[in-house]
Amino acid sequence: MPSLPSRIIAIAERRLGSIDAYYGPVQPLIDGYRDGQFFAQRIRTLSQTKGDEITVILQMLHQIKNTVTVVHGARGCAAMQNYLESYDGHGSPVFSTNLTEDNSIMGAEEVLRKTILAAVERHKPEAVFVVTTPIVAINNDDVQTVAADLGEELNIPVVPIYADGFKSKTSANGYDIAYHSIAGFLTAEKRATDKKLVNIISSDGSEEDVHKIAELVTSIGLNPNIFPRFGLLSAIRNSSNAVATIGLKPDSRVIGEFLEKERQVPYYLLEQPVGPEATSRWLGEITGKTGNKSEALEFIKSREKKKFDELVADPDTNLSGRKIYISGDIYTAIALAGLVKEFGGSVTGLSIANIDKNSVALLDENYKKNGWPFNIHIGDGQVFEQANILSRDTPDVYLGAAGQAVHAARLGIPSVNYAPMPLYGYDASIKLIRAIVRACSNRSFVEKLGSYTSVYNRSSWFGKNPNWYIKQEVG
């Protein structure tokens, strides 16, 4: 009877105990999640902008082929399409219902309806995604009904994605919201298991990396079924017939667990195949999990390792003695930490976007293995906190994703933005290693930046503990 619950998924804070604010030792964090407990919520009393559920969802939907996305909200909620379309290119069209004040008061179901109709008329997509935003979350437009009616009328899936834009503090919650709807609207019943078919969940990252994954999977005799990004809707429909689902990051969990529970396709979240060791382990895991006995595997491992060793002989890939600070989502950050170690460098600090009851295990494992002496920072963006930390830690190089590296560089620290670089596979990450070496060896640009004026009141802020504005939430 009540169909309301089916359209929503609880926010990451309540579902997974997700935390996005912390600075301090690793151990209390790990202890906080013991015995099914959640680490106590923290809030920031001073914060900077960051991605949210909507931005995460839009970057993902933009690369699902033969679809259109309608952002139901004010025009600014879709502003980033200018970035996606002009830098990423060849993505799916993005529409905005471009709501006005009047719409925000009177409701805008009719505007949504007209926009969806026009989008379908123009592009004849196989499916339409409707992304909700704060205005419609507050005026309570009945998006569900509009979507259902038009889905029937147009005979294609019209998939509402209830992003709202203010539900969770964790932007990755956007993936969960999107996959929750994708699972419900776009997957199909299982026909028969195809023993060679492996689902690869591509929520973000570069197209190059996704192709590399496909290549790796193919090399051991399996067929990759890649979705949602760079994939077709048929791949999503076909996912129920796969022998396994491989997630590269925890953002795949909702769709992976759905396929496991509802379509009996086992889901495995594996470490990222970054660098030779991790890639060999990754391939080994997949052959094991799919029951695929690939004779090719050992051959590939030794061949690639040999090729790789030749590459590493190059002095431009030596990180020994280099202290590196890494920022990113926890899976990527830990994969990069492993890579840095493999090339002789050491990690001086980690800043991760968020942590929850699931990903804490990865942190625990690596903490035990490496015995990190440093405090861990949890924050998406929040470059003011990072600036404070970096003023103490003084790493040789800062590794961060887009938009963050520049702020470390402004402190005079050599910085590398790894986001646009290929990382997966045996040797792709060599480019990143070279970039790190390059950043260390020619510091002229960052030195210039570091001597330029700062936006922070350094004497006051850098004297305080970086966790000064992170407070435990009370009732």
C-alpha 282/C-alpha 272 separation (Å) is 7
Residue 78 Cα distances to 82, 169, 181, 381, angstroms: 8, 19, 19, 20
- Residue 313 or residue 474: which is nearer to another protein going by CB? 474
Residues 11-30 vs another protein: string with x where CB under 8 A? x-xx--x-------------
Long-range contacts for 386-392 (Cβ within 8 Å, ≥24 apart)?
386/327, 386/351, 387/411, 387/456, 387/461, 387/462, 388/461, 388/462, 388/464, 388/466, 389/23, 389/349, 389/351, 389/466, 390/325, 391/458, 391/462, 392/466
The residue behind tokens 């491992």 is: 301
Q: Verify binding: residue 45, another protein, rule CB under 8 A.
A: yes
Judged by CB under 8 A, the number of residues near another protein is 96
Q: Verify binding: residue 212, another protein, rule CB under 8 A.
A: no
C-alpha 110/C-alpha 116 separation (Å) is 10
Residues 141-160 that bind another protein (CB under 8 A): 141-142, 144-145, 148-149
Among 25, 41, 207, 260, binds another protein (CB under 8 A): 41
Among 25, 98, 268, 364, binds another protein (CB under 8 A): 98
Round the CA-based radius of gyration of the chain to a whole number and report it.
23
Among 101, 315, 441, 451, binds another protein (CB under 8 A): 101
Binding span for another protein by CB under 8 A among 5-13, 235-243, 308-316, 435-443: 5-13
Residues 162-191 vs another protein: string with x where CB under 8 A? ---xxxxx-x--------------------
Binding span for another protein by CB under 8 A among 48-56, 238-246, 257-265, 266-274: 48-56
Q: Encode 200-216: b = buried (16+ Cβ within 10 Å), e = exposed.
A: bbbbbbbeebbbbbbeb
Q: Verify binding: residue 472, another protein, rule CB under 8 A.
A: no
Contact yes or no for 135/104 (Cβ under 8 A)? yes
C-alpha 164/C-alpha 172 separation (Å) is 14
Residues 381-440 that bind another protein (CB under 8 A): 381, 383-384, 403-404, 406-407, 410
- Residue 174 or residue 273: which is nearer to another protein going by CB? 174
Binding span for another protein by CB under 8 A among 247-255, 271-279, 334-342, 449-457: 449-457
Residue 262 φ then ψ, to 5°: -95, -25
Contact yes or no for 108/139 (Cβ under 8 A)? yes
Q: How far is the CB of 353 from another protein (least distance, A)?
A: 12
Q: Verify binding: residue 354, another protein, rule CB under 8 A.
A: no
Q: Is the peptide bond before 228 cis (omega within 30 degrees of 0)?
A: yes
Contact yes or no for 99/135 (Cβ under 8 A)? yes
Closest by CA position to 348, among listed 409, 383, 398, 404: 398
Q: Verify binding: residue 79, another protein, rule CB under 8 A.
A: yes
Q: How far is the CB of 391 from another protein (least distance, A)?
A: 13
Q: How far is the CB of 56 from another protein (least distance, A)?
A: 9
C-alpha 276/C-alpha 154 separation (Å) is 49
Q: What H or E segment, with its residue span, contains residue 72? A: strand 67-72
Binding span for another protein by CB under 8 A among 71-79, 206-214, 294-302, 337-345: 71-79
Q: How far is the CB of 166 from another protein (least distance, A)?
A: 5
- Residue 171 or residue 187: which is nearer to another protein going by CB? 171
**DSSP-assigned letter for residue 75:** G
Q: Verify binding: residue 81, another protein, rule CB under 8 A.
A: yes
Binding span for another protein by CB under 8 A among 81-89, 264-272, 310-318, 367-375: 81-89
Among 26, 29, 30, 54, binds another protein (CB under 8 A): 54
The residue behind tokens 């979705």 is: 227
Q: Verify binding: residue 264, another protein, rule CB under 8 A.
A: no
Q: Verify binding: residue 115, another protein, rule CB under 8 A.
A: yes
Q: How far is the CB of 363 from another protein (least distance, A)?
A: 18
